[in-house]
Amino acid sequence: MIKYFKRLFSKSEELHPEMEVHLPKDENATFELKVDKLVIGTLQCENGEWKFKYTDDFKKHRNEYNHIAGFSNLDKTYINDTLWPFFQTRIPGLKQPAVKEILKKEHINESNELELLKRFGKKTISNPYELELV
């Protein structure tokens, strides 16, 4: 039974190698991560890479808010070819019936990490931050 639920809610390539999620190299987008109307940082995808950096406005309020887990250096631009776990948690398990229905109805490519984040990434129950496409 536990294996069933793991499969149902997983996005893992390990459990579903046929469903490898990736960021296409030819797509670009910018998101703002916000809390209490304060823009914490920007998440960009460009040329097949993800980039995250804190805003100057957030740095001014560094004592009022915690930094994001996995992004401890406020002055660094983080670059990775895969989406960080903090942002990945915003994408639901792709095998869930309701999610499968949305993907089909809205013609969303389930292997396109950017499309999935655009559709499902705005809010999550795991933290108070909002992710908005700009």
| Dihedral of the alpha carbons of 10, 15, 17, 18, in degrees to the nearest 10 | -60
Q: What is the pLDDT of residues 107-132, one digit of tens each?
A: 999 999 999 999 999 998 888 999 99
Spans of all domains in the chain: 2-10+23-133
pLDDT of residue 44: 97
pLDDT of residue 19: 53
Q: What is the pLDDT of residues 26-76, one digit of tens each?
A: 889 999 999 989 999 999 999 899 999 999 999 999 889 888 989 999 999
The model scores a pTM over 0.85: no
Instruction: Using alpha carbons only, give the angle 29, 34, 36 rounded to the nearest 5 degrees.
Output: 160
